[in-house]
């Protein structure tokens, strides 16, 4: 079987795999087979450009354990990350970009690498070393690896889409359960509670009235717990007990993507009171942070949720370039005001050129 036919079969094989982990492992195995390499690896890149996951072929588990921590992207590996195009090197140790091998690492001489692109960006890099029966990899090896890397990108995209479909099916099922709980169980409990309150009003025995009122309070607690479960089931919606965690995760993601140092201050009691609008609080915060990331050119930012003047106050402020609110008014700020108004709240923005921006959203408790 010639190499062209092997490449066709490799593409079909990768396209038939739906599990991402299996796809990644198979990419490395096929790369080694097509180029007669002794060692192979796939480095999956993280958001900051460093290597997060490192899948290898040719190195035993004992050798990997002896080497220690996997690489993060220094030396020749980092060269391919910084300059994402195919590269052949006849002698690794003689290359100016080489940083040497860690202790207990197998000796390697020749090198061939190529980037794998998926979803419009570099997903990772395939690294191959020590061609069997030859001093170095040749141009035909490089061409084959480039074709395989293209096939790998399609296979990775296919696996991602399969995961998205599975996730969507799960979320739709959760949404159905949440709707049934809300429209059925909670409404029934409300009806029972209203009936008990009516009974309490006509009861002539104070002790009976008190016991009925206590029962109504317990029903309120049950309803609140059910709402928490519903918020946890619905996609994009979080229970009040999770709102603190959700906002902190959102801030952490924003900081990682933008590099803006962001602190978060959440009053747990206020988060609990805002259970019914938890998803809106998260979305309001997301939109405000999105504006900071796109327009503010800020170095620091703060997200706080606290009590003020009988209401819940969500505040996002930054030390960025600022603007003149009466002159510059984008759709993002209008979206904030509309979303706040939809839940009975009020959003306002204060800013001055060079003085940063503060977004305040008052939310009824």
Model confidence pLDDT, tens digit, residues 19-64:
888 888 999 999 999 999 999 999 888 878 888 889 899 988 898 8
Summary mean pLDDT of the chain:
81
Same domain, 8 and 156: yes
Residue 142: pLDDT band (50, 70, 90) is very high
pLDDT value at residue 236: 45
Domain boundary among 233, 257, 287: 233
Same domain, 118 and 219: no
* 179, pLDDT greater than 80: no
Residue 187: pLDDT band (50, 70, 90) is low
CATH code, domain with 268: 3.30.565.10
Same domain, 293 and 181: no
End-to-end Cα, the chain, rounded Å: 72
Hunting for tokens 């921006």 — which residue is that?
357
- Comparing 159 with 328, which gets the higher pLDDT? 159
Same domain, 200 and 65: no
Token pair for residue 94?
Answer: 């003689």
Q: How do residues 60-107 score in pLDDT, each as one tens digit?
A: 889 888 888 888 888 888 888 888 889 999 999 888 888 888 888 988
For 97, list phi and psi in degrees, rounded to 5. -85, -5
92, 111 contact by CB (below 8 A) = yes
pLDDT value at residue 240: 42
Same domain, 266 and 247: yes
Same domain, 14 and 154: yes
d(CA 201, CA 190): 17
- Comparing 8 with 330, which gets the higher pLDDT? 8
* 176, pLDDT greater than 70: no
Alpha carbon separation from 64 to 56, 57, 58, 102 (Å, rounded): 9, 11, 10, 11
pLDDT value at residue 235: 43
Question: Structural domain tally of the chain?
Answer: 3
What range defines the domain where residue 177 resides? 170-233
Alpha carbon separation from 270 to 234, 240, 288, 310, 314 (Å, rounded): 21, 9, 19, 11, 10
203, 244 contact by CB (below 8 A) = no
The sheet carrying 261-266 orders its strands as 261-266, 300-308, 311-318, 357-364, 346-351
| Per-residue b or e along 328-361, where b marks 16 or more CB atoms closer than 10 Å to that residue's CB | eeeeebebbeebbeebebebebebeeeebbbbbb
User: DSSP readout, 1-44?
Assistant: --HHHHHHHHHHHHHH---HHHHHHHHHHHHHHHHTEEEEEEEE
Same domain, 175 and 50: no
Domain boundary among 233, 252, 268: 233
| Half-sphere exposure (Cβ direction) of 148: Cα atoms closer than 13 Å | 34
Token pair for residue 211?
Answer: 């016991």
pLDDT value at residue 137: 94
Q: Per-residue pLDDT averaged across 288-314, rounded? A: 89
d(CA 234, CA 312): 23
pLDDT value at residue 362: 93
Same domain, 9 and 150: yes
Domain boundary among 191, 211, 233: 233
d(CA 143, CA 34): 11
Same domain, 67 and 135: yes
Token pair for residue 61?
Answer: 């588990």
Alpha carbon separation from 104 to 61, 64, 254 (Å, rounded): 13, 9, 39
pLDDT value at residue 68: 87
231, 240 contact by CB (below 8 A) = yes
pLDDT value at residue 31: 92
pLDDT value at residue 40: 93
Alpha carbon separation from 358 to 110, 314, 361 (Å, rounded): 56, 10, 10
Same domain, 65 and 119: yes
pLDDT value at residue 87: 92
Same domain, 225 and 289: no
Burial of 168 (0-12, 13-18, 19+ CB in 10 A): exposed
Q: How do residues 329-357 score in pLDDT, each as one tens digit?
A: 555 677 788 888 888 889 999 988 888 99
d(CA 210, CA 343): 34
Q: Per-residue pLDDT averaged across 281-305, rounded? A: 88
Token pair for residue 239?
Answer: 């229970």
Q: Per-residue pLDDT averaged across 120-124, rounded? A: 83
Same domain, 221 and 316: no
pLDDT value at residue 96: 87
pLDDT value at residue 239: 42
């Amino acid at each position: 079987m010639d190499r062209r036919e092997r490449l066709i079969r490799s593409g079909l094989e990768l396209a038939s795999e739906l599990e991402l982990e299996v796809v990644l492992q198979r990419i490395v195995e096929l790369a080694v087979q097509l180029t007669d390499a002794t060692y192979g690896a796939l480095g999956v890149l993280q958001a900051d450009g460093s290597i997060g996951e490192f899948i290898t072929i040719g190195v035993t588990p004992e050798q990997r354990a002896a080497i220690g921590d996997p690489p993060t992207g220094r030396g020749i590996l980092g060269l391919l990350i910084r300059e994402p195009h195919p590269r052949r090197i006849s002698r690794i140790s003689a290359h100016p970009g080489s940083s040497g091998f860690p202790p207990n690492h197998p000796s390697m001489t020749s090198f061939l690498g190529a980037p794998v692109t998926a979803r419009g960006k570099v997903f990772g890099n395939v690294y191959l070393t020590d061609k069997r029966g030859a001093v170095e990899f040749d141009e035909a090896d490089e061409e084959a690896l480039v074709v395989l890397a293209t096939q790998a990108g399609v296979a990775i995209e296919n696996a991602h889409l399969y995961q998205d479909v599975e996730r969507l099916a799960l979320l739709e099922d959760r949404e159905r359960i949440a709707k049934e709980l809300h429209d059925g169980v909670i409404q029934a409990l409300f009806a029972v509670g209203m009936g008990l309150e009516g009974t309490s009003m006509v009861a002539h025995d104070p002790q009976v009235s008190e016991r009925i009122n206590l029962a109504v309070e317990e029903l309120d607690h049950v309803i609140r717990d059910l709402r928490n479960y519903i918020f946890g089931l619905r996609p994009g919606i979080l229970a009040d007990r999770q709102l603190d965690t959700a906002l902190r995760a959102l801030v952490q993601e924003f900081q990682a993507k933008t590099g803006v140092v962001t602190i978060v201050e959440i009053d747990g009691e206020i988060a609990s009171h805002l259970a019914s609008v938890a998803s809106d609080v998260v979305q309001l915060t997301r939109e405000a942070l999105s504006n900071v990331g796109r327009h503010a050119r800020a170095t620091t930012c703060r997200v706080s949720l606290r009590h003020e003047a009988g209401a819940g106050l969500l505040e996002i402020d930054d030390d960025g370039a600022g603007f003149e609110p009466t002159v510059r008014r984008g759709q993002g700020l209008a979206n904030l005001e509309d979303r706040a108004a939809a839940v009975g709240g009020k959003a306002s923005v204060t800013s001055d050129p060079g003085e940063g921006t503060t977004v305040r959203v008052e939310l009824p408790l």
